Structures are given as structure tokens and as C-alpha cells.
Structure 1
Amino acid sequence: MPYIEVIHPDEAEGRLRRIYDRVTGPGGQVDNVLQIHSLRPHTLEGHMALYKSVLHHPRNDLPKWFLEAIGVLVSLLNDCSYCARHHAAGMKRQMSGDTEKYEGCLEQLHRDHPGEPFSDAEQAALEYARKLTIAPGFVVVADLTPMREAGYGDGEIFEVNQVAAYFAYANRTVTGLGVHTEGEALGLFPPDGEEWRHG
């Protein structure tokens, strides 16, 4: 049960109804993390714009499954089971049925320092995301060096930063307001482009 009032899709009117129509997934599902914004619909629009930009934008260079993996790691570090479960399912869908790799990656995300099957560059990115999550005031330029040495350019580094930062926001929204996964299909996400509808 959320800690604040929520306007559910069947009760929504006006602007909120229009936004819900944009994000509704299969079976009429509007994820609880989105419904928690119902008292201030403009914040739902902001949330979706940020979410789409960092995780589901065609101009991002890093693979979507790996962006989801960063989200899972950050969510685990922040004790946000809602986001960890949703985005682990999303990571699995993005991996197109490679169950062995998915299971190996998920197992590694539960460790202090994830290793293989993540590549050296991915491991460096996960270490950066980890430090940014648990000690944000102590990140220094040297923390970016392993990613650069592994072949990431500043654009890819920025993508890692933005995903970790987005999940810090989303995790605190979820855990701070009692959002839960009860009754939700997990791992739904919108396509690339302007579409918000989850599928």
C-alpha cells in the first residue's frame, strides 16, 4: 500500500488521464512507479522524459540490456526491490533469450564487484556506478579512468552516469513512498522514439 494517495487509472481525468493513456501497457497496466505521480501529473511527464532519454533513446550508444544492468545494480545498492525486479526482467527481455548470459550477469550484479560475463569496460562502468551510488561525494576524475582505458568515450561515460543518477531518483521515489509490484507484470518498457506506451 503506497504511503500517499494515488489516483488509479480508472479514476483519472483530464491531463492525468491523457498521460496514463500514453503509458498504459498490456491489460491496461500503468506501473505503480508511474501512478505514484498522480497527484502532480507534471512530475510524471518529467519522469517519463528522463526515463526515455537515459534508458530507451535510439541515440544512446551502450546496449539497452547493459543500461538496464546498471539500473539493477544501483537499485540493489539502494535496497529498492521494486526497481531491481522490474529492471532485471527488462534486462532479460533486452538480452533476447540468452538465458545463460542473463543468469550470469544477474548473479554478478548481486556481488560487491561484478565480474564476468561482463566485459572489462562493463565492469569498469559498474564500478563507477557503484561508487556514484554509495559514495557520490567522493567521486573524482580518476574514477573515470578505468572506463576510458577500457575504450569508453565521454559519451558512453555520460550514459553510465545518467542511468545511475536516474535510478537514484527512481529508487528514492519508490522506497520513500511505499511503491510495490503487487499485481504488476514485470519488465515492460516502451520502444525507442517518442512512444511512452509500455509493452
Structure 2
Amino acid sequence: MTMGGKEAIAWVDVIGQDAATGDLAAAYDAVKGKDGTVENLYLAMSQTPAAIRAADAHYLAVLHNPDNPLEPWLAELVATYVAVLCGSTYAAANHGDNVRHHHPDGEAAARLVAALGDDSWDGPATAAGTRAALVYTRKLTCEPGAMCKADIEALRQAGFGDKAISYIAQIAASFAYWARITNGLGIQLGDTIGLAMSPAKGTEVGGATDVSE
């Protein structure tokens, strides 16, 4: 599928910025970057303009929120793992880069991100808190109907407080949404997503963990 000789942004019809009016134009204006452009991710959602701002706000609230008690690298690791599990290659690559950017040990972060692909992280070599977060993320992503109170208790035993647990759940659930939107609509993503999205809108990425790694 092509548009004007170029590969289409998605498998559905996309209304560009220059053609947007009313609620869609307002939504584009709310999510555009400093350079005035809207990411392909949101352009591809042009048929549902009411969802654009809500989706963007939720993304920022759970992943790029100073109130998030998780270390930024761990929050990004959860997001990356969901992307891997859902087969969202682009999101996995971009958020994997974010893990390496935030982690104090780049080489260790690279090994951890690489291990997400074959679940080789799931062993005693992985820090207890990290392993518990990933175990929970995997189950919530792949077996949501099997979740039980014991899954929360396992996170508490690993050192997570309930606020941190709530953020893990929100990040995992929201990235399952994003993976399904990008895969389901065949969205061709641009060059800036993940870490690049936050500075473009002037939001801060930060927070401290309540887990001893």
C-alpha cells in the first residue's frame, strides 16, 4: 500500500496533519513534537481522534512520570519485555535502547535486554527484584486470566511496594495495548518513539526505586 509513491503509514486510511480539522486537528496539536510534526503512531490513529490524546497522556503518565517509583531502566525493561512477547520489533528495539541509556552498567543492560528474547534472564543470575518484575510481566502479558493474589505477594517479597507494583502493572498493560495497535493496524513507525517522545514534549523522566537490586 502506498501513498503518493511512499509507503503508507498504516493499513487503514490516514488523515495527515494538513488535512486534519476539528477534533483531529486539536488532537494532533496536543501530541505534536517541538518540530511541529506528529509521530506516525498517532497519525495512524486518525480514524479515532478521541483516543489520540488519551492514549498519549496515559503513555506519559505511566512511563515518563516523575511520580513513578521504579528506576527508569526497570520501567523501560518492563515495556521492552512486553514488546518482545507481543512481537513488536520496533518498540522492543527502541525501549531496549532506553534500558541501556538509563542503566548504570550499559554492558549488563545490553545482556539483560538480549536475554529477553529467549527468556534466558529467568535464573539466579538475574537480581531478585528484576526477575520478579519480569516474571510478573510475562504472566500478565501471556496469561492475564491466570493472575492471582500470589503474583502480587511475590513482588512484595522481592521488595516492591504497592505503588511500584501498580506502575509495573500499568506499564505492562499499556504496552500490550501499544503492541496490538501497531501490529493490528500495520503502522510504519518513524524515527522517534520511546525515550525520544518525552523530551520532545518537555516532560521529565525520573524516579527512584524501592527495590534493592
Aligned counterpart, 1:133: 141
* Matches of 1:118 and 1:48, distance apart in 2: 32
Aligned counterpart, 1:100: 107
* Matches of 1:157 and 1:107, distance apart in 2: 24
Q: TM-score, normalised by structure 2?
A: 0.79
**Structure 1 residues 112 and 189: CA distance shift in structure 2, 3 A:** same
Aligned counterpart, 1:62: 70
Q: Decide whether the 8 Å contact of 1:89 with 1:186 is kept in 2.
A: no
- Correspondence for 1:144 among 152, 155, 158: 152
* More off after superposition, 72-81 vs 111-120: 111-120
After TM superposition, give the deviation of residue 21 of structure 1 in Å.
Answer: 3.2
Aligned counterpart, 1:47: 55
- Correspondence for 1:162 among 163, 170, 188: 170
Measured on the aligned residues, the alpha-carbon RMSD in Å equals 2.6
After TM superposition, give the deviation of residue 86 of structure 1 in Å.
Answer: 2.7
Q: How many percent identity over aligned positions?
A: 34
**Structure 1 residues 185 and 45: CA distance shift in structure 2, 3 A:** closer
Correspondence 1:6 to 2:2: no
Task: Give 1:4-43 correspondences, 5 Å limit.
Answer: 4-25=12-33, 28-43=36-51
- Correspondence for 1:110 among 109, 117, 126: 117
Q: Decide whether the 8 Å contact of 1:90 with 1:186 is kept in 2.
A: no
Structure 2 letter corresponding to 1:161: A
* Matches of 1:90 and 1:12, distance apart in 2: 32
Runs of 4+ in structure 1 deviating by more than 6 angstroms, as ranges, are: none
Q: TM-score, normalised by structure 1?
A: 0.84
After TM superposition, give the deviation of residue 154 of structure 1 in Å.
Answer: 1.1
Structure 2 letter corresponding to 1:132: L
Q: Decide whether the 8 Å contact of 2:30 with 2:53 is kept in 1.
A: no
* Matches of 2:100 and 2:28, distance apart in 1: 26
After TM superposition, give the deviation of residue 27 of structure 1 in Å.
Answer: 5.1
Structure 1 portions without partners, runs of 5+: none
* Matches of 1:92 and 1:14, distance apart in 2: 40
Q: 1:18-75 deviations in whole A, cap 9, x for unaligned?
A: 3323333365542222212112221001101210111011111001221111111011
After TM superposition, give the deviation of residue 77 of structure 1 in Å.
Answer: 0.6
* More off after superposition, 71-80 vs 183-192: 183-192
* Matches of 1:19 and 1:118, distance apart in 2: 42
Correspondence 1:90 to 2:98: yes
* Matches of 1:19 and 1:92, distance apart in 2: 32
Aligned counterpart, 2:3: none
Q: Secondary structure of 1:7's partner? A: coil
After TM superposition, give the deviation of residue 113 of structure 1 in Å.
Answer: 5.0
